[in-house]
Amino acid sequence: MSLVELIARADERGLAAGGLACLDRCLPLLGGDDEALRPLWASLADGSGWAGDLARARDLLGAGRAPGDEAALLVHRMLESAPAERTADALRPWADACSAASLRVHRLLDPAAGAGPDAGDSGRPDAGDTAGPSPLVAAELRRQALVLELLADHGAQGLRRALEVTVEGRRVLRAVVSRRARNTAEAGARAGL
């Protein structure tokens, strides 16, 4: 089943987890604490509302602050556009937008993506692409699908594994962001010589 189909079929919890997982994996671009979104995950597990935790996360992560680049801007938009009301109708467009934005972020940060196919407006690789997505984007596609499948197959019991998949993806992206910052600093130092 394609990622678009998984999102279309997901229930409220699956949509919330799918969107939250995309945002959480991109957290290194906001410079936030790895635990900043943990209360939102907890509200998914116990079924409580998440409006208060969402407001606190926005305050903590500086929603509304002008980010430095396109990738960070995409992550800020994911956070800012999260619906306070956790219903399938409110969450579906957000989860879909988070999926596309997260894939776009990974494409922007992947050095190998420059030579790969363009993902188009949706941020998702086109079905007709024979070269396939770059490695970082392909891994993000797999993680997104796995989170949605875990929630579809296991309900609330799939949340723990979905969070593990998300933490793994966040570690990968943190390493990419760190490498990019080092390369930028080295390039700046060389230019200053």
Please tell me the distance from the alpha carbon of residue 44 to that of residue 55, in angstroms, as a whole number: 16
User: For tokens 């579809």, what's the residue?
Assistant: 152
User: For tokens 């002008």, what's the residue?
Assistant: 66
User: For tokens 């941020």, what's the residue?
Assistant: 123
- The answer to whether residues 79 and 23 touch, using CB atoms and an 8 Å cutoff, is yes
- Joined tokens for residue 143: 């993680």
- 46 Cβ partners below 8 Å, 6+ apart? none
Residue 1: band (very low, low, confident or very high) from pLDDT cuts 50, 70, 90 = confident
Q: What single letter denotes the amino acid at residue 122?
A: S
- The answer to whether residues 80 and 97 touch, using CB atoms and an 8 Å cutoff, is no
Please tell me the distance from the alpha carbon of residue 136 to that of residue 13, in angstroms, as a whole number: 26
Please tell me the distance from the alpha carbon of residue 7 to that of residue 174, in angstroms, as a whole number: 26
Lowest mean pLDDT among 80-84, 110-114, 139-143, 149-153: 110-114
**For the segment 30-60, what is each residue's pLDDT rounded down to a tens digit?**
887 899 999 999 999 999 999 999 999 999 9
Tell me how long the chain is.
Answer: 193
